[in-house]
Amino acid sequence: MIESLIPDSEVLRAQFGEIDIYLFDQLARGRFDARRRILDAGCGAGRNLPYFLAHGFEVHAIDADPRAVASARALARSAGGGAEARIRQGELDALPWADGSMDAVVCSAVLHFARDHAHFARMVDDLWRVLAPGGLFFARLASSIGIEPLLAATTGRVRLPDGSERFVVDEAMLVQTTARLGGTLADPIKTTNVQNQRCMTTWTLTNP
């Protein structure tokens, strides 16, 4: 048998692109098996879209950056299936989709660009609005969890040790927001500490 000359890493990238590893974990655990209408909120150039585009999901996406939207549309066009027309330019606190129209909402590394607490709440509320009963909400965002002594505040806009400015959350804020939405934690809140330079938290909910 002749072994493939294509490196395994290239095979994986061809199928999954540069997918968020924590989103890949949700795929591997079957969280998307019966959830076929997907919204990538803050999709950027489409790093999380290749698998969904190639496997028959009804993909919707939105981003505020017109250049990112153009790139995501080009990616969707190459995949076929009509997803190009479902990629929109717009803001996360004014989504152009109907209530309960998505089986899953993916929001990876976007919510920490909130301007303040009110903006954060508006984005989360509108993302939750479009999620259908039984739907999955997946978010990764900057947090203060684990680096509290290094920050001026544990929630709100702060400068991180890596020099960037982000809107951060803490565990209490995520728990309170989950309760306010009426959601249920699909997994415990998980945080990755990047050598005390920043912390990224995975927040995954289901809509009962």
pLDDT of residue 89: 98
Q: Find the length of the chain.
A: 208
pLDDT of residue 77: 95
pLDDT of residue 4: 58
pLDDT of residue 189: 98
- The list of the chain residues with pLDDT below 70 reads 1-5, 7
β-bridge pairing 102-108 and 156-159? unpaired
Tell which residue, 167, 142, 171, 144, has the closest CA to residue 156. 167
203 Cβ partners below 8 Å, 6+ apart?
A: 137, 138, 139, 140, 141, 174, 178, 189
Write out the H or E segment, with its range, that includes residue 194: strand 190-194
- The two structure tokens encoding residue 4: 């493939």
14 Cβ partners below 8 Å, 6+ apart?
A: none
Angle at 142 between CA 93 and CA 171, to 5 degrees: 95
For 33, list phi and psi in degrees, rounded to 5. Answer: -60, -40
Cβ neighbours of 38 (radius 10 Å): 23
**Domain ranges across the chain:** 23-42+92-206
Tell me which residue has tokens 């048998």: 1
pTM to 2 decimal places: 0.93
pLDDT of residue 3: 53
Per CATH, the number for 23-42+92-206 is 3.40.50.150
pLDDT of residue 1: 44
For residue 103, with 0-12 CB atoms within 10 Å meaning exposed, 13-18 middle and 19 or more buried, which class applies?
buried
What amino acid occupies position 108?
Answer: S
Strands (E), 68-130: 87-89, 102-108
Write out the H or E segment, with its range, that includes residue 62: strand 58-63
Tell which residue, 104, 105, 124, has the closest CA to residue 167. 124
pLDDT of residue 50: 94
